[in-house]
Structure 1
Amino acid sequence: MRYGIKTLFTLFTLFTLTGCARLFTGSEKTYVVGFYNLEKLYDAQANARNMDYTPTGAMHWNSIRYEQKLKNMAEVIATIGGKDGPAILGVTEAESNKVLQELVNTAPLKKKKLKIIHFESEDPLGLDVGMLYNPKRFKPSYQKVIRVDYPGTFKGKDILLVKGELEGEYVIIYINHWPSNYGNARQGDRRRRVAAATLRKHIEADLKENPEANIMVIGDFDEEPKSKVLQQVLKANGRPNPNYKKELFNTFYINYVQGLGSFHKRGDFKMLDQVFVSKGMLNSTGLEYVMGSAQIHDPEFLKYTFGKYKNTPRTTYNGTTYIGGYSDHFPVFIKVKIAR
């Protein structure tokens, strides 16, 4: 059950503080920040890390299917948050700089002239996190990967750190894709705890330097908002009280308690893709999170329209059967504004 005493108290606090916040008139300019798991965006060339995604592999992956995947992804991204699309979009499961560059050069994204940030990781399947951004809105000034020292010989995706100015306001962005439970739930939990602790260490350094820092943490965490890893290790929760400076506010907490989710598994939606913001972005001057703007981007064209998977994400494959859909995740996004 998602509703407990603490959850209800959190919701009461959220609604109370939302009511006390500055009224958003709807006429103010907002900017979209989001995240999208692209689900195995491989190119059509030979891939030594995942031989399934080759013309002769189990998925029979070829240039025709790759180009269709690019068109599908571009169609989705162009519509996230409205006609202007995202100012900043974290992505994951992209094979290379090449596929991201070809993605932003695919219609209808091409006219938006998005730029990319990407680093190769040690992920065993060759899939990385990255960032797309609108250079008219966001000006990056610093970028690096944070290596996570996972236990044993496991290698996973890095955390991407990008700093820059969004409409003139300085912001720190962390893009994540934490390990899943694939193969062993206990090991998956342990690995995510290591990732959370690594990220938390960097966030604490940011807040020590500036307690009012604008920090956004976005990604696929493979954890739901109420998990101990997010709430206790990363210190991200649904409490919007700006006095708790060291905590992160989980903008998707209320979506979670409403039973919504970005990923569907075993007959249930899971809220795995999320955006957290620092308390400096609540009721602030400068860059401010628009309270209540967190949304799952799930237009009808992204869904199965009938059968047992109705209203769930329409995927590229069902097992090894090619469907020609989009991704097994819905994108998520929030809106921010410049408060004066």
Structure 2
Amino acid sequence: MNRSFIIFTSLLALTWVSCQPSRPSASQSATYRVAFYNVENLFDTIDDPDIQDEEFLPTGKNVWTAERYQIKLDKLSRVIVALDSASGGPDMLGLCEIENKAVLEDLVKTKALQAQGYAIAHHSSPDERGIDVAMIYKEKSFTYEGQEAYRLVVPDEPEFLTRDALMVYGKVGGERLHLFINHFPSRSGGQEASEKYRVMVAQLVRAKVDSLLAADAQAKFVIMGDFNDMPHNKSIKQVLNTTGSIDSLNATNLLNPFGPMHRSGLGTYNYRGDWNMLDQIILSQSLVKGKGLQAVVSSSGILQAEWMKQQEGNYKGYPDRTYAGPRYLGGYSDHFPVYIDLVK
């Protein structure tokens, strides 16, 4: 795993962007796919008086009916299967913009996923819209041991609410793996004005990472999410302390394979014609240069199959989203998912 990034940056089109990603052929005994997907407002149709879900009700402005909800579930399940077409979906999948555990239960019961043996790790966040982060995982691949949540409290702004960061831990191939699932605060109000909140959440996550490393210098972990920041922004580059180069990876920083991808012009979310790499998977040094369970760095990629894209108009090639404002498009999500393989 000491291959330089220089080798595969020349193969971007072949290795990083895939229409139907499949597991690499390898001599290792097992391959495990880790993925992350912002599923764009996966709400049920039931009114929850404790959150602001009025838009996603049959009587709301989005006219969110049972039929539209089922279409959304089926389309998301198609994407999830395509994230690992060889085995019917990734082994571990982080998710965000989830309303509650019930929608996850409906998702894993869809026709495409019901035979895959997915279990759910979920935590309810204080976000005023009620959206959470979660993880679904194949019980045959990941032995769940527990989870922790980390809440941002802004002392001078007690009314500021956002998603908690979720850390799920368990065994993969007999080794303990910690998976952090994140949905950092949005850029509402502008990137600069809102940056401090993303920095604060990144500090919470980094503090937990540091405690893991203090207890075990070879602790293995993955940090994934919709960070609402790019790889070069402060929350990712400085606070989480990431590098895009394997050669510069050391005992204190983390590897972000999606940084070089973004510099090459790739992204997971398109904003006004620019591809933003908001969704990323970040790796501990022990997963890249350690022994045992290892990340196949060159397997990292973005799933953007043609059927996931808008097919015509000004937004041709963008993610085929469910809504554009209040206008129902009936697509998948406004984000593309990301993935990477681990081998043991």
Question: SS at 1:74's partner residue?
Answer: helix
1:87: how far off? 0.6
Task: Tell me which moved more, 153-162 or 39-48.
Answer: 39-48
Question: SS at 2:195's partner residue?
Answer: helix
Question: SS at 2:115's partner residue?
Answer: helix
1:245-324 matches, within 5 Å, as 245-324=251-330
Question: SS at 1:256's partner residue?
Answer: helix
Distance 1:230 1:187 in 2: 17
The answer on whether the counterparts of 2:243 and 2:249 sit within 8 Å (CA) in structure 1 is no
The answer on whether the counterparts of 1:242 and 1:282 sit within 8 Å (CA) in structure 2 is no
Question: SS at 2:340's partner residue?
Answer: strand
Task: Tell me which moved more, 144-153 or 106-115.
Answer: 144-153
1:172-191 matches, within 5 Å, as 172-191=178-197
Q: Aligned match of 1:76 in 75, 79, 84? A: 79
Cα 1:27–1:311 change in 2 (3 A) is: farther
Aligned to 1:53: 56
1:83: how far off? 2.3
Distance 2:222 2:103 in 1: 25
1:13: how far off? 5.2
Distance 1:278 1:242 in 2: 13
Distance 2:8 2:287 in 1: 14
1:186: how far off? 3.4
1:205 aligns with 2:193: no
Q: Which has the higher contact order (CA 8 A, sep 6+)?
A: 2
Distance 1:86 1:174 in 2: 16
Question: SS at 2:211's partner residue?
Answer: helix
Distance 2:307 2:203 in 1: 38
Structure 1 gaps, min length 5: 1-11
Aligned to 2:19: none
AA at the equivalent of 1:108: A
Distance 1:144 1:254 in 2: 31
* Matched positions, count: 323
Question: SS at 1:253's partner residue?
Answer: helix
1:184: how far off? 4.2
Task: Tell me which moved more, 169-178 or 47-56.
Answer: 47-56
Aligned to 1:112: 116
Q: Aligned match of 1:125 in 111, 124, 129? A: 129
Question: SS at 1:290's partner residue?
Answer: strand
AA at the equivalent of 2:34: V
Distance 1:265 1:184 in 2: 13
> TM-score by structure 2 length?
0.90
> TM-score by structure 1 length?
0.91
1:25: how far off? 5.9
> CA deviation digits over 1:111-160, x for unaligned, max 9?
10200011111001000000000000000112121112235121100011
Distance 1:127 1:220 in 2: 13
AA at the equivalent of 1:52: E
Question: SS at 1:131's partner residue?
Answer: strand
Question: SS at 2:293's partner residue?
Answer: strand
Task: Tell me which moved more, 249-258 or 30-39.
Answer: 249-258
1:168: how far off? 1.2
Q: Aligned match of 2:231 in 225, 228, 239? A: 225
Distance 1:322 1:156 in 2: 26
AA at the equivalent of 2:31: T
Cα 1:206–1:307 change in 2 (3 A) is: same
Q: CA RMSD in A?
A: 1.9
1:14 aligns with 2:18: no
Aligned to 1:30: 31
Question: SS at 1:145's partner residue?
Answer: strand
Question: SS at 1:217's partner residue?
Answer: strand
AA at the equivalent of 2:133: V
Distance 1:283 1:202 in 2: 21
Aligned to 2:103: 99
Cα 1:13–1:98 change in 2 (3 A) is: same
AA at the equivalent of 2:36: F
Cα 1:212–1:241 change in 2 (3 A) is: farther
Distance 2:171 2:100 in 1: 25
AA at the equivalent of 2:126: E
Aligned to 2:15: none
Aligned to 1:135: 139
